[in-house]
Structure 1
Amino acid sequence: MVRDLGRLDLGKMGKMARFDQMNPPNRHIQTLEGPSLVELHRYSAKQMGQGYDRPREFKIMSALRDLIITAGVAAGVVTMALSGQAALAFDGTPTQTKPLSLEAISPSEALRYGARQYYSGDKAGALNSLRYAAENGQPMAAWKLGEMYASGDGVKEDDLKAFEYYSQIVREHGDDRPEAPDAPFVASAFVALGNYYLNGISDAVPQNVARARQIFTHAASYFGDPQAQYELGRLYQDSSSRMAVRWYNLAALKGHVGAQARLGETLFTQGHDDERKARGLMWLTIAHRRAHGQDSGWINALHEQYFGLASEAIRGRARAMADTWIDHNPAAVMTASTPALQ
């Protein structure tokens, strides 16, 4: 059983979330214990009422691309440091230098070097570099390690290790500002933790839907994360169509394809007039046009189902509204449907 080493305390939050800094012996493992759902909903409603939940594109992959570009600049210096190549004296003869370890470079340099190793195919080497960077306060490194362990990418798949790395990010960076460069990775870690609580980890993390909802609510309202908003919509789908529509709509406006499809489905099925049904079919049409990869199957099937139920007048109205929305929201159209966790 994973020990409960910290708690998400939104009840004492001002503009920023605060977390207990307990510095446990195992710096990775930390589960989250939050306030009641009433407190969370009150906080969420207050923030959204102030216009706090503003559209923002998920920038994880662009940040990783920037990291690789920066890594190329520093690659020569770091490679020499790590490989122990001899330096040249003033007279041109080699001097004897002691090979340097990871501790000889900064955590940010280790992160860049680890990224370069990963994308060049040296995942074993990347693992060591990223571990050092993660242990020394680099949330992007901890996030990448979590992704690697969650999917078995270059390592043996281990959900508990992934859970621990995501928990480390939340513990150490959960109070970062939403505008911070690493905020997308922090938000992604919240979503990953929420999904682990939603489904549980055998013999380690018990399933806890209420806690998952709390974590998703924080990521959705404080960070404005579209994936978290989508997950909340799914959780409310069967119990409150009004709340489901609220969260789906926020994610759909940011370009989340899955949220666009589910929003369309909910609006169409709950629609009592042609205008509402047309708006539902509009979102389904937008999602249908943008769907790709593993999402395309269920989204296309959903669109075909409700397109067949609509009258020709509703179909025409939906197509026109979809065209208008896409023309006026190019940034959202370019946004990935979900965080690109590559």
Structure 2
Amino acid sequence: MRTCNKLAFGAVAALMMLGPVAVGADNPPAYASATEAYRQGVSAMNSGRTAAAIPALEYAAKRGVLGAQLKLAKAYAAGRDVPKDDAKAFSYFQQIADQYADISASSPIANYVGEAFVALGQYSLDGVPAMSLAPNPGYAADLFRHAASYFGNAEAQYQLAHLYLTGDGVEKDPSLAVNWLATAAKKQHAAAQATLGELLWRGEEVRQRRARGLALITLAHENAAAAGKEPQWIGDLYQEALAKSDGATRKEADALLPELGGVNKATAAAVAKVEPANPTMIPADKALEHVAPTASATPASAAAASASQGGAPPPAPIGLSVGFGATSPGSAIKP
């Protein structure tokens, strides 16, 4: 027994002589920095190594790298490369909205923040059963309104217009709906062009203007087809409007296309094709590598931008950066 005690004491003494053991020395951090983790995650994702990509992106996302948060949110929302998980997608989109709700609308990352608000608005509109989030059209309207007014997001403008058309979550207001549709249509948003075009072509909620309506529907069809993802309802609407329009209406609609952002077919046929110059592009991933949350910015610049968008309603005085997760008092949504 005494021999065992001596051996034990000797072992302890030997350890003390060796000095303190460096905790974690054999397990250094997996990544040199959050930015490096993001880069490795993106590289792994692009090469199909999802198992390596997700931990790297999660590491970066937890440390506030916007690009990582956005990639994970979109991946889980679409079920692309990972199993679809709306609760996780909502959590990452929420992180982005909480951190950047009032970032300057002229910031290089403003478009990405606007996308996060649109995604959250859609989740609030539909609900997320996996996290017991009930549909809340009124709150969805607030989210769409912030993205539409402050960030000038065309999809948010379209979604908000749709709510004003149906009166879902807001007081029905066709005039305001048409205003938002027109704003989004000028940005070549196909669904907004088709919806506004149908209202004008059929004379629903607005004075009937068949030629302008047909022009917008045509432009919507062309834009959606060019994007390679034309919804069936746009294609069906285009075929119906074209079939039921006489020659004079078609000719007038074609003449209106340049005014609406399209190309007059007669002019296009006469002009030789010119190869466009390659613009200098900054990869989106580079803009998202070093992004830290900023203090809330004044909405003044966003208000000015919205005012210049051709009759868009002024941005609502809404700041959702604080307590964003709460859909109602005492009902905070936790990641």
User: What residue number does 1:17 align with?
Assistant: none
Structure 1 residue 231: Cα displacement: 0.8
Between structure 1 and structure 2, the one with the greater Rg is 2
Does the CA contact (< 8 Å) of 1:241 and 1:266 recur in 2? no
Give the RMSD, CA atoms, in angstroms. Answer: 2.3
Q: Does 1:309 align with 2:244?
A: yes
Q: Summarize the alignment of residues 225-240 of structure 1 with structure 2, pairs less than 5 Å apart.
A: 225-238=153-166, 239-240=172-173
- Greater RCO structure (CA 8 Å; 6+ sep): 2
- Judge which range, 133-142 or 291-300, deviates more: 291-300
TM-score by length of 1: 0.63
User: What residue number does 2:108 align with?
Assistant: 181
Does the CA contact (< 8 Å) of 1:133 and 1:141 recur in 2? yes
Q: Does 1:208 align with 2:143?
A: no
Does the CA contact (< 8 Å) of 1:140 and 1:182 recur in 2? no
In 2, Cα distance between the equivalents of 1:119 and 1:141? 13
Q: Summarize the alignment of residues 51-130 of structure 1 with structure 2, pairs less than 5 Å apart.
A: 100-102=28-30, 104-130=31-57
Pick the aligned partner of 2:82 from 155, 163, 172.
155
Report the residue type matching 1:176 in the other structure.
I
- Judge which range, 231-240 or 283-292, deviates more: 231-240
Structure 1 residue 321: Cα displacement: 1.0
In 2, Cα distance between the equivalents of 1:273 and 1:175? 38
Structure 1 residue 109: Cα displacement: 2.2
Structure 1 residue 309: Cα displacement: 3.1
Pick the aligned partner of 1:241 from 174, 182, 191.
174
In 1, Cα distance between the equivalents of 2:234 and 2:175? 21
Does the CA contact (< 8 Å) of 1:258 and 1:295 recur in 2? no
What secondary structure is seen at the aligned counterpart in 1 of 2:230? helix
User: What residue number does 1:286 align with?
Assistant: 219
In 2, Cα distance between the equivalents of 1:267 and 1:273? 7
Structure 1 residue 165: Cα displacement: 0.8
What secondary structure is seen at the aligned counterpart in 1 of 2:188? coil
Instruction: Please list every run of 5 or more consecutive structure 1 residues that lacks an aligned counterpart in the other structure.
Output: 1-96, 332-342
In 2, Cα distance between the equivalents of 1:306 and 1:206? 38
User: What residue number does 2:186 align with?
Assistant: 253
Structure 1 residue 240: Cα displacement: 2.8
In 2, Cα distance between the equivalents of 1:205 and 1:221? 25
TM-score by length of 2: 0.64
Report the residue type matching 2:79 in the other structure.
G
In 2, Cα distance between the equivalents of 1:167 and 1:198? 15
Query: 1:217-263 CA distances to partner (integer Å, 9 max, x unpaired)?
Result: 00000000011111112212233321221111111111111111111
In 1, Cα distance between the equivalents of 2:201 and 2:188? 19
Report the residue type matching 2:192 in the other structure.
A
User: What residue number does 1:295 align with?
Assistant: 230
Does the CA contact (< 8 Å) of 2:221 and 2:230 recur in 1? no
Report the residue type matching 1:169 in the other structure.
I
Report the residue type matching 2:175 in the other structure.
R
Structure 1 residue 145: Cα displacement: 0.7
User: What residue number does 1:326 align with?
Assistant: 262
Report the residue type matching 1:192 in the other structure.
A
Structure 1 residue 166: Cα displacement: 0.6
In 1, Cα distance between the equivalents of 2:213 and 2:153? 23
Structure 1 residue 140: Cα displacement: 1.7
In 2, Cα distance between the equivalents of 1:111 and 1:181? 18
Structure 1 residue 290: Cα displacement: 2.3
Report the residue type matching 1:229 in the other structure.
Q
Does the CA contact (< 8 Å) of 2:188 and 2:223 recur in 1? no
Report the residue type matching 2:74 in the other structure.
E
Pick the aligned partner of 2:147 from 211, 214, 219.
219
Does the CA contact (< 8 Å) of 2:41 and 2:52 recur in 1? yes
User: What residue number does 1:165 align with?
Assistant: 92
In 2, Cα distance between the equivalents of 1:227 and 1:261? 13
- How much identity, in percent, do the aligned residues show? 39
In 2, Cα distance between the equivalents of 1:161 and 1:144? 12
Report the residue type matching 1:302 in the other structure.
L
In 1, Cα distance between the equivalents of 2:65 and 2:152? 22
User: What residue number does 2:21 align with?
Assistant: none
Query: 1:175-220 CA distances to partner (integer Å, 9 max, x unpaired)?
Result: 2112222222211110010000100011521110000001000000
- Judge which range, 216-225 or 183-192, deviates more: 183-192
- Judge which range, 211-220 or 113-122, deviates more: 113-122
Structure 1 residue 291: Cα displacement: 2.0
